[in-house]
Amino acid sequence: MISVQAKIEIAGDLNLASISQKLDEVNIPKEILKAILVKLQDEIVIDLCGPMYLRVKDRQFKRAGTTDRTFRTRHGKVSFKLSKVHSKESGCILRPLLLYVGVEPRKRIVEDLVFECAETATYITYRDSKTVIENLTWAEVSRTRIHECVQKIGEFMNEERRMKPAKDQDLIEGDGTKCHSLGGNKNEINVILGKDQKTGEKTLLGLGVNEDWKETASQFKGKAGFCGVG
């Protein structure tokens, strides 16, 4: 369990308006997130290397300094000192906090913001998504960054889909739509769905962007229930 305490100094009259304004200025969620990361990192490093200045010969890890690190989250930028440790066995320099929380070494965008960007962009344009995200969160994003988030989530969904065992389908449907691209043009998105007519459950069988999907759909021709391209 990690316990976090916060101290806020308010100059002037102590009233609801001044308290609310101060909380808005300091962005409490960001400060709490930073405190949790720092506290968690301290505990992990102590567990690996032992207490500071305590020399223990049989330790497999030793401290190797710190580096400045900034994460972009939905609460804004969170900056702190990222601790490094040296593995005596492999000779590698590790950043245990990143391994613990599942963040890639060179990654700057935290998953909560990735999902926020991708989900918003499924309903409105990238330009409007930027405005909505920046108005509803403390994050600063660009249309290019939103596009990258959409691509990342799309790749993840495709990988998850491929890992699932194929199900028997008694009805196969094809359909397509258009959506705005980063450059202002429109992308052609094509999908092939399988449907179990007894349960109504639908399964994504194929997904393509700006591709001649008739070639993909051709593999389903001749199968029972194929509806063709919509």
**Under-50 pLDDT residues of the chain:** 222-230
**pLDDT for 42:** 93
Query: Which of helix, strand or coil describes residue 139?
Result: coil
Map out the domains of the chain as residue ranges.
16-108, 114-159, 166-229
The values of phi and psi at residue 88, to 5°, are: -70, -30
**pLDDT for 68:** 92
**pLDDT for 224:** 44
- Its pTM stands at 0.54
**pLDDT for 72:** 85
Q: Which residues touch 24 (CB under 8 Å, ≥6 apart)?
A: none
Dist. CA 16–CA 21, nearest whole Å: 9
**pLDDT for 229:** 42
Q: Which residues touch 92 (CB under 8 Å, ≥6 apart)?
A: 86
**pLDDT for 202:** 73
Residue at token pair 């999908």? 191
